[in-house]
Chains A and B, each alone.
Chain A
Amino acid sequence: MELSDQIAQYLVSGLSTGAIYALIGIGFAIIYNTTEIINFAQGELVMLGGMFTLFFLNVCKLPLPLAIILAVAAATAAGILFERLTIRPLKSPTPLSLIIITIGGSILIRGIAMLVWGKDTHALPSFSGSEPLMIGSATILPQNLWIFGLTAIAIIGNKLFFQYSITGKAMRACAANRRAAGLVGIDVRRMVMFSFAISATLGSLAGIIVAPLTMTSYDVGIMLGLKGFCAAIIGGLSGGVGTVLGGLLLGILESLGAGLVSSGYKDAIAFIILLLILVIRPQGLFGRAQTERV
């Protein structure tokens, strides 16, 4: 086996994992940009996506496409509920209290999922077959193509929404300056809720499309959430291309690290690079430098 063939496989594998990190990362970025909250419960929404799909599929015996749509809807509702019950009633939110509340929320959601669905791991059927496809010398599963396709659609849809719809523009205004946005008549609280809804939708979608490959259980959200968070930071917490590139880069680094350097230290490699990026280019690899506000 040629080294170049191996590297081709590492790249393909890395890209498909990276696409998932990107999708989760964008969820982080959207909430951060409208509210300056890092939602540590984002990973749990990813988990909810997969678990709800299983629930609708196995317990309610619905066909897969319907189960997926309902699962995304249910997870989005959970995201909105979370915002309404914990973030909105806060009288004087500080970054710290928000971090603790979202961490508390993630523990709570995980706990409820564990009680309701148990601790077992479950497999979700592939969307279309499991015969591997060849791309040059590298192999890929049809599910990977679903991941790429749906990630691309989600990201483009997201971009269009923020660029052209009134709500999207209003949310961007909130991101730029919350008080000014409020003064011109934008309902800031509503926009915050929207941001939670959108990121829950994206997160749960990520959880669903990845479940046929990786299985799902009540505790898959922690690691996926952290990786998505990394992707967002590498991309400078941008809601668009930056985070996508950040996610893909993280995926490839992990895969190359595991294949060429050390599988045991591959996560450490990813985090060391993250630290370097933070220290050298805190605005993210692809972001522009911002002047610090006092």
Chain B
Amino acid sequence: MNREIIKFLLLVVVVLVAPLSVSEGYLLNVLVFVGIHTMLALALNLLLGYAGQISLGHAGFFGLGAYISGVLTANHGIDPWLAMAIAATTVTLMAFLVGFPILKLKGHYLAMATLGLGIIIYIVFNEAVDQTGGPSGLSGIPNLSIAGITFDSDIKNYYLIWTATLICMGLALNLVHSRIGRALRAIHDSEVAARVMGVNARLLKVQIFALSAGISAVAGSLYAHTMTFIAPASFGFNFSVELVTMVIIGGLASIYGSLLGAALLTVLPEILRTFQDFDIVVYGLLLIIMTMYMPGGLVQGIPALLSSIWGKLKRSPAAHA
């Protein structure tokens, strides 16, 4: 437990000082998105990695958070913080209700149901033009502000987003090391066995689903108030897939893995931009190769890679000499 706390505190320090070493304003902007994506990957990982339930519709919950916040503040002049609270509550409740029937399904059926749910939500963003502005998007969303400080610059947003991200990570760490975390892992290994041992598997799955959707909605609200503009294209099926990819590439059932996966998939497109038209080919290839050869994700893959390199380095001086 102590090691866990030290690890987490180390991360907090890194997050605090990171902007100091980043002189380029643009990198700071990328780090803001890394934060938002980390929250989302984390939320999905609770469901996917710990409870073993797939969702291909999480971009929908993210979008709902963003749109509820956006519509309430831009069209109805409600305070951003209140809007964020409303978004989080509504989405959590909705996921809780929808979760009961949907989480009865397994494997590919669950994948299909969540995918369908995501697409339905996406269609509503597009079609409810009067409120959402339709496909051309919703502008005029205000920044969040607290005690006279308005979060309107990259550096302010960085600290805002990462405070939220760290809180989520802390909560998630707590959760997975608690009794609930053990019960979740039991469900993951064998739902029937878990039920036999007295875990209310069904309720627990639905609760995690709701929690996961709720965190995604908060990330969505934060995104909306940071960007001050939202459009449906950011919340489609592709983004759901990207989120699943973040979790898997980072490492299933690993809180820090979510951070790694989110960071990699946010920074990667920035690097791939130099490939111009080739970027989508390179992206597809990387997905395949990483899943094939690093099934444990980066959290397991990087140490393994380092130790093998280390092993080679230790041997090589002798060979050269």
A interface vs B, CB < 8 Å? Answer: 32, 38, 86, 89-92, 94-97, 99-101, 103-112, 114-115, 222, 226, 229-230, 233, 262, 264-265, 267-268, 271-272, 274-275, 278-279, 282, 294
Contacts and interface: CB of A to CB of B under 8 A. Distances in A.
Contacts of A109: 284
Contact of A96 (B48, B104, B117, B119): B48
A279 B113 contact: yes
Contact of B116 (A86, A91, A274, A282): A274
A275 B113 contact: yes
B190 A107 contact: no
Interface residues of B, number: 42
A95 B192 CA distance: 19
A267 B278 CA distance: 32
A115 B277 contact: yes
Contacts of B281: 108, 111-112, 115
Given A97-B291, A103-B241, A265-B127, A229 B284 contact: no
Contact of B117 (A38, A106, A222, A275): A275
Interface of B: 48, 54, 101-102, 104-105, 107-109, 111-113, 115-117, 119-120, 123-124, 126-127, 190, 192, 237, 241, 244-245, 248, 252, 277-278, 280-281, 283-288, 291-292, 295
Contacts of A233: 109, 112
B292 A294 contact: no
A289 to B, nearest CB: 13
Contacts of A107: 280, 283-284, 287
B54 A268 contact: no
A13 B198 CA distance: 53
Nearest to B286: A104
13 contacts: A99-B54, A105-B288, A106-B284, A107-B283, A108-B287, A110-B280, A230-B112, A264-B123, A264-B127, A267-B119, A268-B127, A274-B112, A275-B113
Interface of B is mostly: helix
Contact of A86 (B105, B111, B292): B292
A106 B117 CA distance: 22
Contacts of A38: 108, 111
A278 B295 contact: no
A253 B41 CA distance: 35
A271 B291 contact: no
Given A96-B48, A275-B117, A279-B101, A114 B280 contact: yes
A49 B119 CA distance: 26
A111 B286 CA distance: 13
Contacts, number: 121
Nearest to A98: B291
A278 B248 contact: no
Contacts of B102: 275, 278-279
A85 B108 CA distance: 23
A286 to B, nearest CB: 15
A86 B292 CA distance: 8
Q: Which of A109, A110, A282 is packed against the most chain B CB atoms within 10 Å?
A: A282
**8 nearest CB pairs, A to B:** A104-B287, A108-B284, A107-B284, A111-B281, A111-B280, A104-B288, A271-B116, A279-B101
B9 to A, nearest CB: 32
Which of A89, A106, A109, A274: most chain B Cβ within 10 A? A274
Contacts of B190: 294
A197 to B, nearest CB: 20
Contacts of B48: 96
Contact of A101 (B101, B252, B291): B291
B53 to A, nearest CB: 11
B116 A275 contact: yes
A96 B54 CA distance: 8
B123 A104 contact: no
Given A32-B108, A96-B248, A264-B127, A90 B284 contact: no
Interface centre among B123, B127, B248, B288 (most CB of A within 10 A): B288
Contacts of A89: 292
B292 A272 contact: no
A116 to B, nearest CB: 10
A268 B278 contact: no
Given A95-B108, A226-B115, 12 more contacts: A96-B248, A107-B283, A108-B287, A112-B281, A115-B278, A222-B237, A268-B123, A271-B117, A272-B116, A278-B109, A279-B113, A294-B190
A219 to B, nearest CB: 11
Nearest to B123: A268
A272 B120 contact: yes
Contacts of B107: 95
B277 A108 contact: no
Contacts of B115: 226
A86 B284 contact: no
B243 to A, nearest CB: 12
Contacts of B280: 107, 110-111, 114
A244 B16 CA distance: 58
Given A111-B280, A278-B113, A100 B291 contact: yes
Contact of A111 (B123, B237, B284): B284
A108 B288 contact: yes
B21 to A, nearest CB: 33
Contact of A267 (B105, B113, B123): B123
B111 A99 contact: yes
B192 A294 contact: yes
A100 B112 contact: no
Contacts of A268: 119-120, 123-124, 127
